Amino acid sequence: MPMKLERLNELLKKLVQMEDAEENLEMVPLYEEALELSKEIYGEHNLKTLEIYNNYGGHLRNLGLYEKAEYILRKAVVCAKIVRGKEHPDYATTLVNLANLLRMMKQWQESESLFYQALALYKITIGEEHFIYAGTMNNLGLLYYEMGNLERAKECLEHSLHILEGKEEYIIPYATTLHNLVDIYKKEGEIFKAEHTLKQEIEIYRQQHYEGTVLYAAALNSLGILYCEKEQYEKAKAVMTESVEITKKHLGEASDAYKTSVKNLEMIHEKLQEKKMQKNHEILQETLKGMTSAACASESNLNCEKGSEERNHTIDKDTEKGFVKGLDLCREYFNQVCYPLLEREFSNFLPRMAAGLIGEGSECYGFDDEISRDHDFGPSFQIYIPQEDMPIYGERLKQRLNTLPKTFQGFGARIESQYGDGRVGVFSIEDFYRKFIAAEGVPETLSHWRQIPENALSTVTNGEVFFDHYGKFTKIREELQKGYPEDIRLKKIAARLMKMAQSGQYNFPRCNKRKEYVASRLALSEFMSVSMSLVYLLNHSYRPYYKWVHRGLLSLPILGKTAYDKMQRLSVLSLEKDYKEMEWIIEEFCVDCVKELKTQGLTSSSEAFLLMQGPEVLKRIKEPALRNSNPWVE
């Protein structure tokens, strides 16, 4: 037992150090171990165990692991009831912890009930004038704000202000409560009152020598946004610049607060630039009014000549692009050379056949070019027949097709690489699908779907079917082309979001800060890979073989072009010189993804840190085992 107690104390000390170092993700397994040790040493219902329950639950809440946090905090409530009793303020505090979590989970009715239970208990134990009572009233106000009940939100926050007002020891909580009221005033259209409240908050920080603190920076950030909304861009720039500098000093460049304030400052700079350009445009328009009609005509002629040159250049470029794609070549070869033979010699079996070009190879995606013609390129096709037909005419069909001309329209015979054998020819329908997805048709269970690699599903659904008289091949193909079953898609999306947060939003900036550039590059590579995979999933599509993942984005209507451009930019920037821009790109793309998640009804949260979005998506899964599984595992 002494060794276990020593280990527990070591863990609790380590957790405090890790919290200071913001090593948030790594703390979860340590909390798990500490909780189990505490229960073993002190029992499940003990003050030390209660303390760990509350701290662990709060940590999980901050990470966005809401379901696990709810489980822990409900255990904490039971523990507090037994250890402290239902009339102790510690029990009320545990209720508040759970209420705040449920507020974030949008379980507003229960959250509201718990807040009122806690307030009633505080009222008879510590009184209505206590700081903790005011803090709980403040949290209740935030709940009503999120529910859209601005009137009740304002009542609660102003009640909290009334409790804190005039109490010197509570002057800073008073200022932060003022801050919470600002958005309500703005939503109610009371812009002057919002500005006055912010300035009042800032003045308190100055009087209390809180300049340079994170609270002061947050107030400046809000004031900068308000100035920007009022189109007072110079004022906005001044206060936002100060906010950025303070946030950088205290929270570091990897923090969300710093990234947000930097984005706000960039937005203000853009607005200033737009204003400047508008002014220049107006000056130019005035100048143009004084130009003579002859000068205008001359300008017009020059533009016409330039336009003509551009059109001719485009035509020339299009002519230069006279490149025959492999899929087009194979289709024509099949239609002109093979299909007539099938009609003549296999007419009895033609109603049971299908043909096309699908599978491995850049030509099946339409991505082939001059470089790719050095292997597995040339006139070819695939024919698909039922398994039971193979003994009847399969071998004869293969032998007859081998006698067809190997060249076509000036293109030489297909050059097969070492690993390109078996990609074209005659296949049974069942064997063709089994080769890629280990099933003769559409997988029948969610477990089977989870086991199939994404690129295999992409491979078996690419290319083109030239004809299908039998219909079976196309029926399977069309079902597969619909994408994953929704529960599997959501499971994979949740896992992608968790890994994007871990690699891109969390580890990438931390590695940069340490100048661990190899680790940074690995984190970036992981982020780019899972991000592109996420875009395919959001499009109900499958990620192809890694070589074609980026190029394939351009064919996707949802975030395809956005992801293509951002990944391209990330790949060419320098880690040493451009890491700030890289972090901004990562954060911008994560925000883009959250917007799409909301569009698809996969989340109700606007939180940009994707670790909090994974569990949100997981909640939409219908199958219980999948819904309650680890969000990190796809």
Mean pLDDT of successive 10-residue stretches along the chain, which has 634 residues: 86 84 71 91 93 91 81 95 94 95 92 96 93 93 92 93 88 90 88 91 90 86 88 88 83 69 84 72 52 40 40 32 74 90 91 91 76 67 92 91 83 57 82 90 90 91 92 94 94 94 90 88 94 96 90 93 94 86 92 95 88 89 85 82
Per-residue pLDDT, 283? 54
Residues β-bridged to residue 426: 383
Q: Give Cα 602 distance to the centre of its chain.
A: 11
Instruction: Compute CA distances 417 → 359, 376, 548, whole Å.
Output: 15, 6, 19
Per-residue pLDDT, 310? 36
- Say if CB 242 and CB 279 are below 8 A apart: no
What are φ and ψ of residue 366, in 5° steps? 80, 20
Residue-wise pLDDT tens digits, 351-404: 999 999 998 877 778 777 777 665 556 688 899 999 999 999 999 999 998 888
For the domain made up of 486-627, give the CATH fold.
Four Helix Bundle (Hemerythrin (Met), subunit A) (1.20.120)
What are φ and ψ of residue 502, in 5° steps? -65, -50
Residue-wise pLDDT tens digits, 310-343: 333 332 333 333 567 878 888 998 999 899 999 9
Per-residue pLDDT, 97? 95
> At which residue do the structure tokens 């070019």 appear?
369
What CATH number belongs to 126-207?
1.25.40.10
Per-residue pLDDT, 314? 31
Per-residue pLDDT, 611? 85
Which one, of 152, 155, 210, 222, lies nearest residue 182 by Cα?
222
> Rg (Cα) of the chain, in Å, rounded?
32
For the domain made up of 1-109, give the CATH fold.
1.25.40
**Hey, where are the domains in the chain?**
1-109, 126-207, 211-278, 326-475, 486-627
Contacts of 97 (CB under 8 A, 6+ apart): 54, 57, 58, 73, 76
- Say if CB 461 and CB 481 are below 8 A apart: yes
Which one, of 410, 326, 408, lies nearest residue 369 by Cα?
326
> At which residue do the structure tokens 């698809």 appear?
600
The token pair that represents 264 in the structure block: 């706000």
Per-residue pLDDT, 24? 65
Question: Hey, do 1-109 and 126-207 end up sharing a CATH topology, with the first three levels equal?
Answer: yes
Per-residue pLDDT, 316? 33
Q: Which DSSP category does 514 fall into? A: T
Q: Which DSSP category does 424 fall into? A: S
Tell me whether residue 403 is exposed, middle or buried, using C-beta atoms within 10 angstroms of its C-beta: 0 to 12, 13 to 18, 19 or more: exposed
Pairing of strands 464-468, 425-428: unpaired
